[in-house]
């Protein structure tokens, strides 16, 4: 299995067993990744059962793709995820600047 399309998921929460089945891995591997990757923090009920949201399943999908498909080490996958998040922040900042510039240019055109 490769990247999961989270729009195809219908439930609010998924158990660790369901998530493990989606990726054909063991539940212990999912728990291990939870300890290794700080962004993978499923909610737990009073009993301690993990409940994964669509976004957390997307995170598992990213980790799975990097480690199992692309062959990254855990450290390499952590670095790749960090770099991806930094790139996303840069893109958002640039987009915000472009939108501000566009608004200014449209205002200027209206004044002419």
User: Tens of pLDDT along the chain (112 residues)?
Assistant: 456 777 788 899 999 999 999 999 999 999 999 999 999 999 999 999 999 999 999 999 999 999 999 999 999 999 999 998 889 899 999 999 999 999 999 999 999 8
> Within a domain: residue 1?
no
Among 101, 86, 105, 68, smallest CA distance to 76 is for: 68
Query: What's the confidence (pLDDT) of residue 10?
Result: 87
Query: What's the confidence (pLDDT) of residue 92?
Result: 93
Query: What's the confidence (pLDDT) of residue 6?
Result: 74
Report phi then psi at 51, rounded to 5.
-125, 120
Euclidean distance between CA atoms 82 and 38, whole angstroms: 11
Per-position b or e across 60-83, b if 16+ CB within 10 A of its CB: bbbbbbbbbeeebeeeebbebbee
Q: Are strands 50-52 and 14-15 parallel, antiparallel or unpaired?
A: antiparallel
Enumerate the H helices of 1-112 as residue ranges: 16-23, 27-36, 54-64, 74-111
* Whether 30 contacts 63, CB under 8 Å: no
Q: What CATH code is carried by the domain that includes residue 40? A: 1.10.1660.10
Query: What's the confidence (pLDDT) of residue 80?
Result: 93
What is the span of the domain harbouring residue 74?
6-111
Query: What's the confidence (pLDDT) of residue 1?
Result: 46
Count of domains for the chain: 1
Query: What's the confidence (pLDDT) of residue 8?
Result: 80
Mean pLDDT for the chain? 91
Query: At a CB cut-off of 8 Å and minimum separation 6, what does 54 contact?
Result: 6, 9
């Amino acid at each position: 299995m490769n990247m999961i399309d989270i729009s195809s998921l219908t439930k609010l929460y998924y158990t660790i067993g369901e998530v493990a089945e989606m990726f054909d891995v063991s539940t212990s591997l999912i728990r291990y990744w939870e300890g290794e990757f700080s962004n993978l923090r499923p909610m737990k009920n009073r009993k301690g059962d993990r409940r994964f949201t669509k976004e957390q399943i997307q995170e598992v999908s990213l980790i799975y793709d990097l480690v199992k498909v692309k062959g990254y080490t855990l450290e390499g996958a952590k670095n790749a995820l960090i770099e991806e998040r930094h790139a996303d922040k840069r893109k958002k900042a640039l987009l915000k600047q472009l939108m501000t510039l566009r608004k200014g240019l449209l205002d200027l055109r209206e004044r002419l």
